[in-house]
Chains A and B, each alone.
Chain A
Amino acid sequence: MAKLLLYLTLATSLIPLFSVAFSPENPTDRRVLVLVDDFAIKSSHSLYFGSLTSRGFQLEFKLADDPNIGLQRYGQYLYDALVLFCPSVERFGGSIDVASIVDFVDSGHDLIVAADSNASDLIREVATECGVDFDEDPAAMVIDHINYAVSNFDGDHTLIASDDFIKADVILGSKKIEAPVLFQGIGHSLNPANSLVLKVLSASSSAYSANPKSKLSNPPSLTGSAISLVSVVQARNNARILITGSLSMFSNRFFRSGVQKAGSSIKHEKSGNEQFLTEISKWVFHERGHLKAVNVRHHKVGESDEPAIYRINDDLEYSVEIYEWSGTSWEPYVSDDVQVQFYMMSPYVLKTLSTDQKGHYSAEFKVPDVYGVFQFKVEYQRLGYTSLSLSKQIPVRPYRHNEYERFLPAAYPYYGSAFSMMAGFFIFTIVHLYSK
């Protein structure tokens, strides 16, 4: 009986270790809450959801106004990521609202928001909290009369074929997306002062955002390539957000349809939507572009243990190991632009670390001849990668009294004078005592 109790307590105490949730050692999200307007989306967008479940995500579908939904219970988050495919929701059910979604993202979790041409104010507010501004006109859609997708049924040029992608392999994958991406919905703009948002798919310079049914009397507020069709935000805590103005971009219909851009004679059999959205979902859910830096070490050249203090004009070596999460394991990260700074109020030394191609980076330099408390700083920020911010404090002391040069040629006259005085004294004692 006692043994059974013992085994039970052991088993229950080990359960937290077996959970495969989001954690710093395993940064890919696992449990995803998908909020939809109605369950028909589960069926009409099944290819996209299928691509997520085939990579191991557990999707839970709930109606956006279901009164039982909640992101956290008793202080613990129930999900690792949130997907909002509910453009027309007026009020979220349960305990979800804009503030709780912002808290969710602030705690490091990822978010995908898809609006559409009937987007409600609530979804626009969520997007504004994330840093993008949708067009205020509720009836506006993105129209492009030069880069539209040739179609027998959408004659009003709101179905756009766009291939103006961001040039980042880490976000869009290394394989080039051949076919343009079909888009039909509303556009948004980014604040130029915001350094965290990126335009992944932007509209061409002939695009504008307006109501296709009514004539324009004033120039529209969003025109040209300032209109972003798909944007991503990487927050400072490395939470990733994907915002787009077209829910139908994710639909099976767009995934399967062929595309021909107006003015071009190339007819692609399949649009680039599936490849584009699958690759960008991999990035949003941290399967790519997530870096960690471990094993920061520094020592004097020639020694191996880490001293507590350096002396000016010492030669030291700094090394760090950087790994990238590949979705299943940590792979060494290879790059030639990781830099270390030796910093006290401003960088005194900034050096590029050399790599051994297996994730180990090191650099050697001489300690400056200024003494004080310095920091080894590595601030690594690259497009699409999580930011690395390492800092290690180390004091630097000046020379001790016995570390200076011992004998100076400029002092030879003084040495000469002292010793010649001693020799003279010795001779004098002998001579003075014994001469007559």
Chain B
Amino acid sequence: MVSGGSDSNSHLFLPQSLTTSFQSCLPHNIFLNVWGDGINCWQALSQSDGRWRYSSNNPESSTFAAGIALEALSGVVSLASSEIDQFMIGAVKNDIVKLFDSIEKYDDGTFYFDEKLVNMREQQGPLATTSSVVRGLTAFSSVITESLNLPGDKILGIAKFFLGIGIPGDTKNFFDQVDLLACLENNRVSIPLILSLPSTVISLTKKDSLKVKVNTVLGSHAPPLTVTLVRAFSSSARDNSIIENQELKFDPQDAVYFLDDLPASFDVGEYIFVFKMLVQDSEQQTVYATGTLTQVPIYVTGLIKIENAKIAVLDSDLGSVETQKKLDLAGESTVSVSANHLQKLRLSFQMSTPLGNAFKPHQAFLRLRHETKVEHTFVVGSSGKKFEITLDFLGLVEKFFYLSGRYDIQLTVGDAVMENSLLREIGYVELDLPEPPENASRPPPQPVDPYTRYGPKAEITHIFRAPEKRPPEELSLAFLVLTILPLFGFIIGLLRLGVNLKNFPTSAVPATFAVIFHLGIAAVLLLYVLFWLKLDLFTTLKTLCFLGVFLMVVGHRTLSHLASASAKLKSA
């Protein structure tokens, strides 16, 4: 390890390896070499702007590396305390001052170190970089005898930066934050003191008093200080300061500085308070970084008196009052008025602060809402303490989309410093507007309630066509009987006529043929009935073929026999 030469400088660099190696090396002539190597490192790797390179191979210089270097050098100095070269210490101090030139800042007075390296694999963020620099210089300042002259406001700015980020979620960031704050809590460079207010909202009704706390970064007690309220002015009138150079009293129990009483002329509003801290012990003033002036925005809130509220309906031309009603804005009562398009509606009230001054709230709206949910909002104008708005319906007819009917009136008055901001349904006005002309603009569509948009639809069942009306069954049965009656009439008629079966052939063969002939006719008729009942045409035709041929043969025999029998009878 302690072999000298520039090629071993790179591994001399890590403070962890330094301390372990120191402990393992016992002969004290080693220390001289350590100091010599320390100087070699510094000469080789430190840059003119105060930053250091990671190794002789890497040309890039880094602020994070400078912080580690300072820590290592402080270790070297603490070990080689007998051989310290004061010139070298002075040069390192100059380097630290130059390093502070590269500090970056935000507009709100916080400072931090950051770097953007091209060749490194992982960027060290601003938290890690600043933390390493502060660690290095607090370690260095603790081992040297004289003090480092560092600008106190920059140390205070670094402390404010780290306090302003809240609690980081990343464990490495959290470690860097706590480490840096612990270094700043108690060090020989400068200890920043933080001025904070437990509450920036002061309520006149609750008679809050202004309280200021001064602590170190981790919350320990500060040395005795004088805290002065240099100026307090309203944010709207910056030149006019209401309080000047008021010293705050110290309450040792709670360890807060407080202002006894706000002067009686303190009204509600937004103010900016400027504080200054000074350490009482003049010797210790250089040890603590208090900063110059701290500006804090303060809101003083109170109850605003609203009184004399009236609503009136006026005639347009004459300006005379038609109806006027008093409004009780503190209570729940509502009023109702009616107007037509030739009249005007006037709402007026008076507002004053607890001290009786005029007050202009940020929000003073009059809203008219129609039954169809179309809304119109107006700003209530003011002059001094009097607030008044006049709605001339003649000019507003088109803006109201010619919608007549009931309009609900809502008044909203609010401000950041008003403790009694109100939203009141005053009542309603029945407005009678003329009919819209042809090309009047339609009122804008109102949003559909999402809960009704998505519900299930009504069920539909199909209504089937009613079957055609048929005649009643009794009617069909009656006609059935009527159609069968002629058959019976025919049989009766035949019997009356005296038909007989005398001509039936008597001999065997012709008789059988005759019988078969008639059975065949009956079979064909039965086939027709079967066809009507269940058969289809094809089987019917097939059967009919066979039956027909059979019937023709038999019929021919029978009929020819009958014809020859009657011919014999005729010729005889």
Which residues of B have CB within 8 Å of A167? 451
A195 touches B476 (CB 8 A): no
B484 touches A416 (CB 8 A): yes
Which residues of B have CB within 8 Å of A151? 201
A145 CB contact (under 8 Å) in B169, B415, B445, B522: B415
Chain-A contact segment, one of B35-43, B54-62, B244-252, B372-380? B372-380
Bound: A425/B487 CA distance, A: 10
Bound: A192/B298 CA distance, A: 41
Which residues of B have CB within 8 Å of A218? 379
A256 nearest CB neighbor, chain B only? B167
Find the residue from B165, B455, B499, B522 having the highest chain A CB count within 10 A: B499
Cβ distance A265 to chain B, nearest Cβ, rounded Å? 14
Task: Determine whether A311 belongs to the interface, using a CB cutoff of 8 Å to chain B.
Answer: no
B483 CB contact (under 8 Å) in A210, A368, A420, A430: A420
Cβ distance A249 to chain B, nearest Cβ, rounded Å? 15
Which residues of B have CB within 8 Å of A39? 125
A206 CB contact (under 8 Å) in B167, B414, B444, B491: B414
A435 touches B125 (CB 8 A): no
B464 CB contact (under 8 Å) in A43, A313, A431: A313
Bound: A157/B362 CA distance, A: 11
B299 CB contact (under 8 Å) in A155, A195, A366, A420: A155
A210 touches B414 (CB 8 A): no
Bound: A184/B165 CA distance, A: 18
Bound: A195/B525 CA distance, A: 75
B499 nearest CB neighbor, chain A only? A435
Bound: A409/B474 CA distance, A: 9
Query: A323-342 interface mask toward B, CB cutoff 8 Å, 1 = contact, 0 = none?
Result: 00000000000000101010
Find the residue from B166, B362, B455 having the highest chain A CB count within 10 A: B362
B363 touches A143 (CB 8 A): yes
Cβ distance B277 to chain A, nearest Cβ, rounded Å? 20
Query: B484-525 interface mask toward A, CB cutoff 8 Å, 1 = contact, 0 = none?
Result: 101100110010000111111000000000100010011001
Which residues of A have CB within 8 Å of B494? 427, 431
Task: Determine whether A413 belongs to the interface, using a CB cutoff of 8 Å to chain B.
Answer: yes
Task: Determine whether B107 belongs to the interface, using a CB cutoff of 8 Å to chain A.
Answer: no
Which residues of B have CB within 8 Å of A152? 198-201
A426 CB contact (under 8 Å) in B167, B415, B444, B521: B521
Cβ distance B86 to chain A, nearest Cβ, rounded Å? 42
B421 CB contact (under 8 Å) in A145, A156, A253, A351: A145
**A413-B169 contact given A156-B416, A436-B503, CB 8 Å threshold:** no
Which residues of A have CB within 8 Å of B120? none
Which residues of A have CB within 8 Å of B317? none
Which residues of A have CB within 8 Å of B415? 145
**A43-B169 contact given A219-B378, A435-B501, CB 8 Å threshold:** yes
Cβ distance A152 to chain B, nearest Cβ, rounded Å? 4
B480 touches A212 (CB 8 A): no
Which residues of B have CB within 8 Å of A193? 445
**A352-B456 contact given A152-B201, A419-B529, A434-B504, CB 8 Å threshold:** yes
A411 touches B447 (CB 8 A): no
Task: Determine whether B360 belongs to the interface, using a CB cutoff of 8 Å to chain A.
Answer: yes
Query: B410-450 interface mask toward A, CB cutoff 8 Å, 1 = contact, 0 = none?
Result: 10101111100111000000000000000000001111101
Query: A189-213 interface mask toward B, CB cutoff 8 Å, 1 = contact, 0 = none?
Result: 0101101001000000110101010
Which residues of A have CB within 8 Å of B416? 143, 145, 155-157, 212
B503 touches A410 (CB 8 A): no
Which residues of B have CB within 8 Å of A370? 462
A40 nearest CB neighbor, chain B only? B165
Task: Determine whether B473 belongs to the interface, using a CB cutoff of 8 Å to chain A.
Answer: yes
A347 touches B363 (CB 8 A): no
A339 touches B457 (CB 8 A): yes
A368 CB contact (under 8 Å) in B365, B377, B445, B462: B462
Query: B551-571 interface mask toward A, CB cutoff 8 Å, 1 = contact, 0 = none?
Result: 000000001001000000000
Task: Determine whether A266 belongs to the interface, using a CB cutoff of 8 Å to chain B.
Answer: no
A252 nearest CB neighbor, chain B only? B169
**A424-B362 contact given A219-B377, A410-B471, CB 8 Å threshold:** no
A156 touches B299 (CB 8 A): yes
Task: Determine whether B207 belongs to the interface, using a CB cutoff of 8 Å to chain A.
Answer: no
Task: Determine whether B454 belongs to the interface, using a CB cutoff of 8 Å to chain A.
Answer: yes
Task: Determine whether A369 belongs to the interface, using a CB cutoff of 8 Å to chain B.
Answer: yes
Cβ distance A387 to chain B, nearest Cβ, rounded Å? 10
Task: Determine whether A417 belongs to the interface, using a CB cutoff of 8 Å to chain B.
Answer: yes
A417 nearest CB neighbor, chain B only? B483
Interface residues of B in 356-389 (CB under 8 A from A): 360, 362-363, 365, 367, 375, 377-379
Q: Number of contact residues on A: which range applies?
A: 35 or more
Which residues of A have CB within 8 Å of B483? 413, 416-417, 420
B165 touches A416 (CB 8 A): no
Task: Determine whether A381 belongs to the interface, using a CB cutoff of 8 Å to chain B.
Answer: yes
Cβ distance B365 to chain A, nearest Cβ, rounded Å? 6
Which residues of A have CB within 8 Å of B297? 155
Task: Determine whether A100 belongs to the interface, using a CB cutoff of 8 Å to chain B.
Answer: no
Task: Determine whether B479 belongs to the interface, using a CB cutoff of 8 Å to chain A.
Answer: yes
Task: Determine whether A217 belongs to the interface, using a CB cutoff of 8 Å to chain B.
Answer: yes
B377 touches A223 (CB 8 A): yes
Interface residues of A in 72-87 (CB under 8 A from B): none
Task: Determine whether B458 belongs to the interface, using a CB cutoff of 8 Å to chain A.
Answer: yes
**A219-B360 contact given A198-B450, A224-B375, A436-B503, CB 8 Å threshold:** no
B480 CB contact (under 8 Å) in A217, A412, A422, A427: A412
Task: Determine whether B465 belongs to the interface, using a CB cutoff of 8 Å to chain A.
Answer: yes
A433 touches B454 (CB 8 A): no
Which residues of B have CB within 8 Å of A424? 486-487, 490
A434 touches B501 (CB 8 A): yes
Task: Determine whether A308 belongs to the interface, using a CB cutoff of 8 Å to chain B.
Answer: no
Which residues of A have CB within 8 Å of B447? 190, 192
Task: Determine whether A395 belongs to the interface, using a CB cutoff of 8 Å to chain B.
Answer: no
A369 touches B465 (CB 8 A): yes
**A383-B454 contact given A192-B447, A412-B479, CB 8 Å threshold:** yes
B476 CB contact (under 8 Å) in A351, A411, A430: A411
A145 touches B414 (CB 8 A): yes
Which residues of A have CB within 8 Å of B490? 424, 427
B503 touches A434 (CB 8 A): yes
Task: Determine whether B550 belongs to the interface, using a CB cutoff of 8 Å to chain A.
Answer: no
Query: A28-53 interface mask toward B, CB cutoff 8 Å, 1 = contact, 0 = none?
Result: 00000000000110111111011000
Cβ distance A170 to chain B, nearest Cβ, rounded Å? 11
B457 touches A195 (CB 8 A): no
B453 nearest CB neighbor, chain A only? A195
Query: A138-172 interface mask toward B, CB cutoff 8 Å, 1 = contact, 0 = none?
Result: 00000111100001110111000000001100000
Bound: A383/B417 CA distance, A: 40
A435 touches B500 (CB 8 A): yes
Task: Please provide the 7 A-B residue pairs with the shortest distance between their CB atoms, ordered closest to farther.
Answer: A46-B169, A145-B414, A155-B299, A145-B421, A152-B199, A413-B479, A192-B447
Please list 26 pairs of residues, one from A and one from B, whose beta carbons are closer than 8 Å in the complex, sorted by A's number. Answer: A43-B170, A145-B362, A145-B416, A145-B418, A146-B414, A152-B201, A155-B299, A192-B447, A206-B423, A215-B362, A216-B363, A224-B377, A252-B167, A337-B455, A339-B459, A350-B457, A352-B456, A366-B462, A368-B462, A409-B470, A413-B480, A416-B480, A422-B528, A424-B490, A434-B502, A436-B500
Other A-B pairs beyond A313-B464, A383-B450, 12, CB < 8 Å: A43-B169, A152-B201, A157-B414, A210-B363, A223-B377, A352-B459, A420-B486, A426-B525, A427-B494, A430-B501, A431-B499, A434-B503
Interface residues of chain B, those whose CB is within 8 Å of chain A, are 125, 165-170, 173, 198-201, 270, 297-299, 301, 360, 362-363, 365, 367, 375, 377-379, 410, 412, 414-418, 421-423, 444-448, 450-451, 453-462, 464-465, 470-471, 473, 476-477, 479-484, 486-487, 490-491, 494, 499-504, 514, 518, 521-522, 525, 528-529, 559, 562
Interface residues of chain A, those whose CB is within 8 Å of chain B, are 39-40, 42-47, 49-50, 143-146, 151-153, 155-157, 166-167, 190, 192-193, 195, 198, 205-206, 208, 210, 212, 215-220, 223-224, 252-253, 313, 337, 339, 341, 347-352, 365-366, 368-370, 381-383, 408-413, 415-417, 419-420, 422-427, 429-431, 433-436
